[in-house]
Structures are given as structure tokens and as C-alpha cells.
Structure 1
Amino acid sequence: MTRVSVITGGAGGMGRATAKIVGQDHTVVLCDIRQDRLDGAVAELESLGISATPVHCDVTDRDAVARLFEAAAGIGPIASVIHAAGVSPSMGDADYVMTTNAIGTLRVNEAFFATAGEGSAIVNVASMASHMLPDELVPAQHFDLAFTDEPRFLTEMLAACDIAGEEMRSGLAYSVSKTFVRWYSSAQAERFNARGLRIVSVSPGSVDTEMGLLEADAGAGAMVANAAVPRWGKAEEMAELFAFCASDRATYLTGTDILNDGGVIASMRERARVAAQNA
């Protein structure tokens, strides 16, 4: 029976690039909230000889996510999920960013946990931005509320963004939400392992995609100049890493985050250390 790979945000730049790789030996189920882009992605993949099933799905909708996994499981055993669905600060207010990125991750991962069989893996897309957030700004003490009291969880997450001011609130919500993605991917590793499942997050840097370029003038573009590799990352470079993390070649890899940012964080930290020494 064919093995299935589910890709959320599958019509976007990184999701579509990943589908081209994993689709070589898996049947791909593409999930996206934009039907027009979803149709285009499926047509492109099919022109390359890759079997792709489209599922129109809002990852924050519990019932829609349940239907997504039912559709995937109906095709064959779920081998992997690449959860690339998410939004950037320029795409909406803080509430929208937090709900999409944090609650969307919770919905997809919990459905994967309930559905997937032993040996399956999920790769969550976090962000370089989460590595830039000072620990004192991370409301980690409230992260567990996501499992028991979602309304309060969102309230606490958004309250942590209030210090940024209205103009910067979406940006801070993005960083906090992606920090939650990283936390979840580490904190739940033992629980997932008990069912024979792996969970990993990857933190891309500034990537040359439609969504990434929305932030070219709002921070991500400036970060490129700080990189050890001073250029935008390519969707295909991220896709190769996602595909590897989800594959049977990475069966010892779980509970961790891989930062793939062209050296931005390393460069910034070293420059800060040198500046502090010379102050």
C-alpha cells in the first residue's frame, strides 16, 4: 500500500517545494486554505508525475483538520507530515498570527498523534525569529494551557505581546507563536515516542517565497545582511531539510529544532559578544 505524506501549507513556496521531493516515493496530500493556489500546486505536481490529493483546510479548525487526516488515512498509511502552514506578521493582526501559528500547530500535531502509526514523523516549521526572542519575553509558563484551556492560552500569549505597542504587536506574536512551535516539538517528544512517533521542528531564516518577501521591508530583509551566508534562502533548500527530517534516514532525530538560517543567529550573537567585550 502506498505511503502518504501530508503537507500543510502545501500550496506555498516551501510546502510545494517539499511536495516535489517527498512525492517521488509517497502519495502527497496537500492542505491549504487558499483553494486557487491549491489547485495550481496540484496541477504542477501532476505535470511532474507526482500524485497529489488536494484538501481545502483551515488548520485552526479542529473538524477540518480531522477531515484532512481522515482523507489521508483513507489513501494509505501516513508516513509523515510536514506542517508548513502559517502566517507572517504582515498577514494579519496579533490574534490572527497567534491563532494560526500556535493553535494551528496544536490542531495538526494532535491529529497526527491520534492517527499516525508507528514509525511516522512530523516536522513543524518554526522560525529564526523564535531564536531571537529573549527568554524573559517568552510566556513559557503558560504554554501548557494550550492543552487544557485554549481561550486562556490565547489570552496569556497575546498579553505577552502587549509590551510591543500596536505597530509591533503582530511581529512579537509571530516570534512568540513560533517559540511555542519549538517548545511543543521538544516537550511532546517523549509522549510521541511512546507511540513510536517522531517530532521535530525546523527554524528557517529569511526565505525567498511569497510569504517571506512580505517581510522584506519589515525585518527579514535586514536579517539577510547579518547572515554568514548573506542572501535569501531558497524554498528548495528548506524542502530538502524538511524531507530528510521526515524520512526513514532520520529515525534517531526527534525532540529538537534545527536552525537553517544562513548563519544569521550565529553572526548576530558573535557580533553582540564582540561589541560587549569592546564596550
Structure 2
Amino acid sequence: MSTKSIAIIGCGGMGLAIARRLGVGRRLFVADFSDEILSAAQETLTDEGYMVEISQVDVSDYESVRRFAHAAASHGPIEAVIHTAGLSPSTGCAQKILEVDLLGTANALDAFLEVAQSGTSMVCIASMAGHMGSGLPSELERHLATAPRDRLLEHDALKIDAADPHGPARAYGLSKRGNLLRVQASAKAWGRVGARVNSVSPGVISTSAGRQEIDGPAGKFIALSPVARVGTPQDIVNAVSFLANAESSFITGNDILVDGGVVSSVKWDTMKA
């Protein structure tokens, strides 16, 4: 009997926590851009008794992601695909954020659709940033949701001046909004093969990347949270695990916002003002 597989793209703190939860009794296929992070993840998970195979993947390169998808599928049915790879405003320039966070997610959705089958569930990690603001023009939202991946970055709204100090934050917000929309628009195609696709939008989470944001502008959101704390990787793992498993079989094309109530507080505090 073949062992079912779990594919995880991005094996930082959040990806590693997800691997531990979902990987019991499964073969883990873990990908990351960094060889150093990959090696550390492989050593940690192997020492803990998991079956792990690693691949160096550049999510901004479709063929790189596609090779990983087909390698994972060659060992048996893929039960779940978790896409966590991404850059934050403090870790990349605007163009790189668009290439990794926006195009990278589109690449992962398309590549894993090729190997998805009945029962496969894909979960993309988005962000509460995709829920912020007053909304984008409908034409831009349609482009983010449905443009062919090879033309996804060609929209004028995505041409951000490298000298703009707010460029990385703008690119991040557009990318994460695009992630939500892309997942929604992909649900029908995934459904044709009996598979599902959803996203999870974390708030401020205490990972190594998240802590960099806490020291910056994102830190103000902690004070707005009705639960008055920073999120933990396990808060995200719980939502991802639910979406990855059969308990959520009637949920697809949706997003779970795991932000401690920050988006709701921002919305209604703004409206009261």
C-alpha cells in the first residue's frame, strides 16, 4: 500500500510546525529556496521520526515548482499541499515580493493542480493584509484572480517604483489580496478533479519572520487585537490542519482569517471615527 504524501512549500517556523502536525504517518516532501533552511528542517524532522524528502525550489519559477509537484506525486497520492513560502515587507523589495508572494502562489496553484486528485486539499498561507483597506478596483481584482500566470505581473498597478519607501508594503498588500482572489478563482478547476483549495490569513504571528514585523509597523496591530496577544504558529497550524483534512470537505475557495480580531477592530474603529 502506497504511503500518502504531504507537500509543504516553505519550511521556516510556520512550515515546520505544519509539517510536524500533518506529517505523522505520511511521507513529507518539503521545499524551500534556502538550502540551509532545508537541511536544518530535514535534520530536525528526521530526528523526530518523520519520513522527509527535501527539494530546493524557487517559487517564482513555474518549472521549479512543477518539478517539485511531480516529484511528490511520483511517490503516491498527495493528500495535502501547504504553500507557506513568502516574503514580508521587511525582507524583500517590492518587485521580489510580487514575484514570490503573488506569482509564487499562482505557480503553486497551477503546478499542483496537474497532480491533484480526489481528496487532495491545498492550503495557501495569505495574510490579514489581504483583508485591509477599502478595496481594489474590480478590474484589478479580476486580473489578480484570473490573469494567466505568465501575464500576472504585467498590470500597471503592479509596477511599483523601487525608490518608493512604501513600495514593499504596497506590494505585500496587493500580493496577499491576490492570493485570496486567486484561491477563490481556482476552486472550480480543483473541484473538477475532486480536490479543494483554500487559504489561511494569519495576523501578527510569533515566527522569526513575524517578529521582524512586530518591531515595525505591524506591532501596532497587537494593541488592536481583542484577544490582546500575538498569534503563535500553532494558531495557524490548527486552521491549516482543519482545511487539510476531511472535516472541512464542504469548504473550498474560502479563506480563514486567523488574526485575533484585528481586521474587525480596524474596520469598526475606523467607521466609528
Q: Is TM (by shorter chain) over 0.5?
A: yes
Determine the C-alpha separation between the residues in 1 that align with 2:186 and 2:72: 23
TM-fit CA distance, 1:122: 0.4
Determine the C-alpha separation between the residues in 2 that align with 1:214 and 1:115: 36
Q: Comparing 174-183 with 127-136, which one deviates more in the overlay?
A: 127-136
Amino acid of the structure 2 residue aligned with 1:81:
V
Equivalent residue number for residue 45 of structure 2: 45
TM-score under structure 2 normalisation?
Answer: 0.94
Equivalent residue number for residue 179 of structure 1: 177
Retained in 1: the 8 A contact 2:6–2:28? yes
* Distance verdict in 2 for CA 1:208–1:154, change over 3 Å: farther
Retained in 2: the 8 A contact 1:98–1:154? no
Deviation string for 1:109-162 (max 9, x for gaps)? 101111111110100111001111321467214225631652x63443423x56
Determine the C-alpha separation between the residues in 2 that align with 1:242 and 1:65: 21
Runs of 4+ off more than 6 Å: none
Q: Comparing 39-48 with 253-262, which one deviates more in the overlay?
A: 39-48
Q: What is the aligned residue count? A: 271
Q: Secondary structure at the match of 1:6?
A: strand
Q: Comparing 46-55 with 167-176, which one deviates more in the overlay?
A: 46-55
TM-fit CA distance, 1:270: 2.2
Question: Which aligned pairs between 1:1-279 and structure 2 lie closer than 5 A?
Answer: 1-9=2-10, 11-136=11-136, 139-143=140-144, 146-147=147-148, 149-150=150-151, 153-159=153-159, 161=160, 166-275=164-273
* Distance verdict in 2 for CA 1:131–1:117, change over 3 Å: same
Determine the C-alpha separation between the residues in 2 that align with 1:106 and 1:166: 25
Determine the C-alpha separation between the residues in 1 that align with 2:6 and 2:59: 16
- Where does the alignment leave 5 or more consecutive residues of structure 1 unmatched? none
Determine the C-alpha separation between the residues in 2 that align with 1:233 and 1:126: 15
Determine the C-alpha separation between the residues in 1 that align with 2:163 and 2:62: 31
Determine the C-alpha separation between the residues in 2 that align with 1:185 and 1:155: 19
- Where does the alignment leave 5 or more consecutive residues of structure 2 unmatched? none
Q: Secondary structure at the match of 1:71?
A: helix
Determine the C-alpha separation between the residues in 2 that align with 1:101 and 1:118: 27
TM-fit CA distance, 1:266: 1.3
Deviation string for 1:77-122 (max 9, x for gaps)? 1111000011101111111001101110111110111111111010
Q: Secondary structure at the match of 2:199?
A: strand
Q: Secondary structure at the match of 1:91?
A: coil
Q: Secondary structure at the match of 1:85?
A: coil
Amino acid of the structure 2 residue aligned with 1:250:
S
Determine the C-alpha separation between the residues in 1 that align with 2:136 and 2:60: 28
Q: Secondary structure at the match of 1:89?
A: coil
* Distance verdict in 2 for CA 1:50–1:67, change over 3 Å: same
